[in-house]
Chain A
């Protein structure tokens, strides 16, 4: 009876509720609902790592079948974070199969192992630059490279999109992302030193 109620309302349930119910019942309906919520992300990541849509689709199905058993072996607090790690691991394993002996992504694999061990939030303490104290931030901003500083200012303080920044600075969109990411990391390091 309880299972039926959950079954009917599973779309309204939170991730943790669905997860708990899957642990209790092992009913794949609940895991399917949970997986379905993030399938667009799983597919996107698989597209990012693997060669084409067909491989990525196969990987999405394989991962679903895999997690039905794997999920029961772990204590998972955040399904989405855990799923991201599993997806990345799966894609790396697929790549390794395709190119045996290649040491590509080895550092990322180590990183993933750490994620697996912690299995917590990916960025629990991430602060955006505009959330730091203004005076400290100003000092550290001056230490950044010019491109990084400009991109950070436009992105966080002028609320410009990647696309707009690329137009304003007349640089490639990927460069914009890269400057923002690196600038943010350097800022964080600088601010943590203070």
Chain B
């Protein structure tokens, strides 16, 4: 049902241009041209044009318009696909950035309910290696071990495992069902030409029966992630390839459990250490690292901030430096009646590390109290107490000993 004029249409236009009409037809067509300026002007245009390939040119233009029609539609799809891609990439990137550095995560349970596990891993002296927040991208193995009412002997015995950097199948279990467990922790890092580092880490944790208390039927869930060239051993041979677990309460100290771990994978040292870790003084980093959380298959959920280790509030720069600062500042005036006086204080430190209140505990004279407040306020900032990975408000007792300056 096109609006076709019997005389003015594309076919007749072409016939007229190509001189395919009789004179009578031409007259009929030209009479229409007189009434249709669009056609008349178009005809003038064709008559002026140096080329005679109108049919070809018009077909090309039609094709181009058809292409535009398609592209207009496909443009929407392209835009939608681009948006989808960007959103996906954004989510992926966010996921990557939020990925918790899950070194070793253990959850201990007993029959009466869940109990948190505190594992103190010591002897990681290198501050770069102290962080076990190395991204381990794939769970390769889960080991399950049941330990029933086991008491691990104090004596440290050799049960180290020969772990290689590339073959996880060579792993041997060390820590369950035996009296002899030795895990040594040693780390080496080699720089590669590409700028990334390959870290080979061996950890040895000594287990100590006296220090380790297990009650009832215990299960320990342990989930391990390895990178491509990483290998890791934990558990025993019976449990290889499965989920390992024991319940009960376990406390592990530096000299009580040893775990051997050998990992080799490329790492970026700027990437693996969380900022919160960097705020811990170097002297503190190697000392205590507490890990607490819940391990789930293919997924690790930690309670609180996994980057934060549980510590009490302490001054930035370490307590030793702080005490030196106090010693330097707490000077009695020469005309003070006594040579030495102590101000006992109670500091309230909020979750941001801000000192919110300073109280005297021994009702010392206002002059020294005010002096103490000034010293504290002008002194180093404090880091808040961290419990279960969460920064909390805390109270700190502090004694400042004022002395006369020795001449």
A interface residues, Cβ below 8 angstroms from B: 11-17, 27-29, 32, 35-49, 52-53, 56-57, 60-61, 64-65, 68, 80-81, 83-84, 88, 122-123, 126, 128, 155-156, 159-164, 180-181, 184
Contacts and interface: CB of A to CB of B under 8 A. Distances in A.
Interface of B: 1-3, 10, 13-14, 23-24, 26-28, 30-31, 34-39, 41-46, 48-51, 54, 57-58, 60-62, 64-66, 68-69, 72-73
A122 B40 CA distance: 13
Given A28-B73, A84-B38, A47 B68 contact: no
Contact of A60 (B36, B54, B61, B69): B61
A27 B51 CA distance: 34
B10 to A, nearest CB: 5
Contacts, number: 136
28 contacts: A14-B2, A28-B73, A29-B73, A32-B69, A36-B66, A37-B2, A39-B62, A39-B65, A40-B54, A41-B13, A41-B42, A43-B42, A44-B46, A47-B45, A47-B46, A47-B49, A49-B45, A52-B49, A52-B50, A53-B57, A61-B65, A61-B68, A84-B41, A122-B36, A122-B37, A159-B27, A160-B23, A160-B27
Nearest to A49: B45
Contacts of B3: 14-16, 80
Contacts of B72: 28, 68
Contact of B61 (A14, A29, A61, A161): A61
B interface: dominant SS: helix
A155 B23 contact: no
Given A32-B65, A36-B62, A53-B51, A13 B38 contact: no
Contact of A43 (B30, B34, B57): B57
Contact of A17 (B1, B10, B49): B1
A193 B42 CA distance: 33
Nearest to B38: A84
Contacts of A61: 61, 64-65, 68
Contacts of A46: 45
Nearest to A173: B47
Given A17-B1, A28-B68, A60-B61, A48 B37 contact: no
Nearest to B29: A161
Nearest to A47: B45
